[in-house]
Amino acid sequence: MSSLFTPLSIRGTEMRNRLWVSPMCQYSAVEGVPNDWHHVHLAQFAAGGAGLVIAEATAVSPEGRISPEDAGIWTDAQAEAWAPIVAAIRSRGAVAGVQLGHAGRKASTTSPLTGGRGTVAPAEGGWSTVAPSAVAYDAFAAPVALDAAGIEKIVTDFGDATRRAVRAGFQVVEVHAAHGYLLHQFLSPLANHRDDEYGGSFENRVRLLVRVTEAVREAAGDAVVFVRFSATDAADGGWDVADTVAASRLVADAGADLIDVSSGGLVPHQHIVPGPGYQVDYAETVRRETGLLVAAVGMIDDPTFGEQILADGRADAILSAREWLRDPHYALRAAAELGAESPAPAQYLRAY
Ligand SMILES: Cc1cc2nc3c(=O)[nH]c(=O)nc-3n(C[C@H](O)[C@H](O)[C@H](O)COP(=O)(O)O)c2cc1C
């Protein structure tokens, strides 16, 4: 019996297996509206047997986009453009998820598809960025510190985006609190220098994420809510694994159903050495210390490796990103390798 191909049911939503597609920005939307590229890109993973396909970091407001080409869901028109993409994922047997994000001080940057790096100037389609504090990331433009009204708007935007996502048919909503983006910036003392109720102590730094999770939970109805953390900043004085464990408990109390455990992205001087399964220890720690459902991610490129992680009780599901780009039918290959029943569509069964 394969652990990877054992279904997982959360809040009544059943994922047919535990080999999932991690969110991947495509930098291919126009004014936040997803298109034909997103449709083919995401639906192919569902045809390829994924249990869950999570669409890229999707901005809850225009200023929350990482690049001007990011997808969004801050308008009804964007949600309507997502709906057929969601239907294409679901009709192929996968659960459809979306990651909701706000890039904070890492917004308004050049799309990597153009080979550039750094801030896009307002004259070239960029915008002025916001963050917990007016502290720049690397050589990016300095952000403006959010005031109280700006913080309220972040909470409202995540709630409204969730309502639109659910209306578009998404069954899982992931709150992006990782990789140095806005919510992570609030968590980490390296980016958050506030002296109000959103900065200083751990309780204050997690406050915005807890409020956002509550708003998302309320707007999500029966949909499943994930939170993605960077378990550590891997830098002196930064957010660490013990903080992640404590914050995981708080977001679970606020309504999160699963913790997705990544790392890094907050500061350029982080010390992270990527290698096979380099973040699994963090996932295992969160799972052991909290008893919550946990997904592991990060260079888990091999079905037998993923199988072992689950069989050893280190995580409840495996998220992969680049392996799906190398092989969009990754789960069909994995099932064949592990001798599990194939999730292949009927049209493809002659190949298995
Ligand atoms: C093209 C690309 C785009 C990505 N975009 C996102 C994103 O939108 N949100 C996110 O949380 N992580 C993003 N990531 C990180 C992946 O979700 C994943 O955590 C990381 O690639 C490690 O997994 P892997 O070794 O299986 O690729 C992206 C990765 C890639 C390769």
Closest atom of ligand 1 to 262 CA is 19
CA of 27 to the centre of ligand 1 (A): 13
CB atoms near residue 115 (< 10 Å): 7
Pocket test for ligand 1, best of 24, 56, 58, 322 (most atoms within 8 A of CB): 24
Q: Does residue 116 have a pLDDT over 80?
A: no
Tokens encoding 313: 């009780």
Please tell me if the CB atom of residue 56 comes closer than 6 angstroms to any atom of ligand 1. Answer: yes
For residue 52, the model assigns a pLDDT of: 99
Q: Does residue 345 have a pLDDT over 80?
A: yes
For residue 83, the model assigns a pLDDT of: 99
| φ, ψ for residue 262, nearest 5 deg | -115, -160
Q: Which domains does the chain have, with CATH numbers?
A: 8-351 (3.20.20.70)
CA 32 to chain centre: 17
Cβ atoms of residues 83 and 90 within 8 Å: no
Q: Is 352 a catalytic residue?
A: no
**Among 107-121, 180-194, 212-226, 322-336, which stretch is predicted with the lowest mean pLDDT?**
107-121
How confident is the model over 205-257, as pLDDT tens digits?
999 999 999 999 999 999 999 999 999 999 999 999 999 999 999 999 999 99
What is the distance between the alpha carbons of residues 262 and 26, in angstroms, rounded to a whole number?
19
How confident is the model over 31-55, as pLDDT tens digits?
999 999 999 999 999 999 999 999 9
For residue 115, the model assigns a pLDDT of: 83
Cβ atoms of residues 124 and 141 within 8 Å: no
For residue 80, the model assigns a pLDDT of: 98
